[in-house]
Amino acid sequence: MPPTRITEDAFRRVLREGMPSGAAMAFDVLTLEHGRAVLRMRAGAADIRPGGTVAGPVLFALADLAVYAAVMSAVGEVPLAVTTDATIHFLRRPRATTLVARARLLKEGQRLVVGEVTIEHEGEDGAPVAHAVMTYSVPPAR
């Protein structure tokens, strides 16, 4: 199996230095392997909509973070990697509980890296609340 090219510590440092909004999210890293990342997040008070659901942009931010981790697990520290396109489907009304995002890469190209991510309530596999596909553009000089 190809090596995991980033540690959790390095990932958190990249966020602190380059994406404060990501660093501010209260997440645990459950898995970090080459091309795969699993993050767990408890929705905070600011994320919750009346009725006890989680706002769409919060799910988007979590999905983006998980794919970003998967990208760096495969290509290493590339703080300047940027999302070029993202498609998210909101599938079920998320409850304001703990969410798990599982990301894996579909393509690991020289310039473009594509990943998909599924977000579920913790402990409820198979009934995703959101699914996203995202492309990251990786700078050539690395």
Got the DSSP string for 9-28?
HHHHHHHHHH-HHHHTS-EE
**Rounded-to-integer distance, Cα 114 and Cα 133, Å:** 7
Q: How far is the CB of 6 from a second copy (least distance, A)?
A: 18
Burial class (CB in 10 A: 0-12, 13-18, 19+), 39: buried
Q: What is the x/- site pattern for a second copy, positions 51-70, by CB under 8 A?
A: x---xxxx-xx--x------
| Window 26-45: contact mask with a second copy (x via CB under 8 A) | --------------------
Window 98-127: residues binding a second copy (CB under 8 A):
106-107, 111-112, 114, 116, 118
- Report the residue from 9, 50, 123, 141 that binds a second copy according to the rule CB under 8 A: 50
| Interaction of residue 10 with a second copy, rule CB under 8 A | no
Dist. CA 121–CA 55, nearest whole Å: 14
